[in-house]
Chain A
Amino acid sequence: GAGVSQSPSNKVTEKGKDVELRCDPISGHTALYWYRQRLGQGLEFLIYFQGNSAPDKSGLPSDRFSAERTGESVSTLTIQRTQQEDSAVYLCASSPYRGWELFFGEGSRLTVL
């Protein structure tokens, strides 16, 4: 498709399990972001990849969270030993250049029971 694709769209897991969320950016986009949005709250920045530069991980809330990106393609966000407070919509966005026009996916809704 032409847009940013995220999977799964919905994930229900048990506390303590690991989850992986996937983001397929728009082809050719060099920048990729992950954000978290809890119910009724604003967007929290998690991590930012720009080309081959070292990622900006300053928003990751704990060492249970990690993210990888292969070149300028797919990114995965991994949450280990999930907690109930991890329940949120995780949004991925990509950008074609060094500006700040981001294209967002529809998000992955994570529910931790």
Chain B
Amino acid sequence: DAKTTQPPSMDCAEGRAANLPCNHSTISGNEYVYWYRQIHSQGPQYIIHGLKNNETNEMASLIITEDRKSSTLILPHATLRDTAVYYCIVISGGTASKLTFGTGTRLQVTL
């Protein structure tokens, strides 16, 4: 599965949009982009995923560039409860793969 690169940390003011970038320049055609987050002392939580098209759900939006080499997770109105480590994962649609987590981006939402 393709390797991903994320900034180690980011800050965001409460109420503002949090834009978390992820580079995955070696992504191949059948690989999906998944985002998870882990709030302190809890298990990871699935946020959203996409293949080619931009996606939106009640938690976030996922913007994937046309060449698919990078993506951005957008939390439109960040709250203090969104403070967490955010993981970008690229994984093949085949069942032989396993979901592995990198180091992620630690997002700190401040007042």
Interface centre among B45, B99, B101, B103 (most CB of A within 10 A): B99
Contact B43 A106 (CB under 8 A): yes
Contact A42 B101 (CB under 8 A): yes
Contact A98 B95 (CB under 8 A): yes
Contact A45 B43 (CB under 8 A): no
Q: A43 vs B101: C-alpha distance in the bound complex, in angstroms?
A: 6
Q: Is A93 on the interface with B (CB-CB < 8 A)?
A: yes
Name the B residues within 8 Å of A33 (CB-CB).
98-99
Kindly count the residue-residue contacts between A and B in the assembled complex, taking CB atoms under 8 Å apart.
Answer: 51
Name the B residues within 8 Å of A58 (CB-CB).
98
Contact A56 B44 (CB under 8 A): no
Name the A residues within 8 Å of B98 (CB-CB).
33, 45, 48, 56, 58-59
A14 to chain B, nearest CB (A): 25
The number of residues on chain A lying at the interface, defined by a beta carbon within 8 Å of a beta carbon of chain B, is 24
Contact A100 B34 (CB under 8 A): yes
Name the A residues within 8 Å of B89 (CB-CB).
100
Q: Please, what's the 1-or-0 string for B88-107, where 1 marks a CB less than 8 Å from any CB in chain A?
A: 01010101001111111000
Q: Please, what's the 1-or-0 string for B42-68, where 1 marks a CB less than 8 Å from any CB in chain A?
A: 111110010000000000000000000
Contact A102 B104 (CB under 8 A): no
A61 to chain B, nearest CB (A): 15
Q: Would A42 and B91 be within 8 Å (CB), given that A105-B43, A106-B42, A107-B43 are in contact?
A: no
Q: A33 vs B98: C-alpha distance in the bound complex, in angstroms?
A: 9
Given contacts A91-B43, A93-B43, A100-B99, 9 further A-B contacts (CB under 8 A): A33-B98, A42-B102, A42-B103, A56-B98, A58-B98, A91-B44, A102-B99, A103-B46, A105-B43
List the interface of chain A (C-beta within 8 A of B): 4, 33, 35, 42-43, 45, 48, 50, 53, 56, 58-59, 91, 93, 98-107
Enumerate 9 A-B pairs (CB-CB under 8 Å) in ascending A order: A42-B102, A43-B100, A45-B100, A100-B32, A101-B34, A101-B49, A105-B43, A106-B42, A107-B43
What are the 9 A-B residue pairs with the smallest beta carbon separation, nearest first?
A104-B43, A43-B101, A101-B46, A48-B98, A91-B43, A98-B95, A100-B99, A104-B44, A45-B100
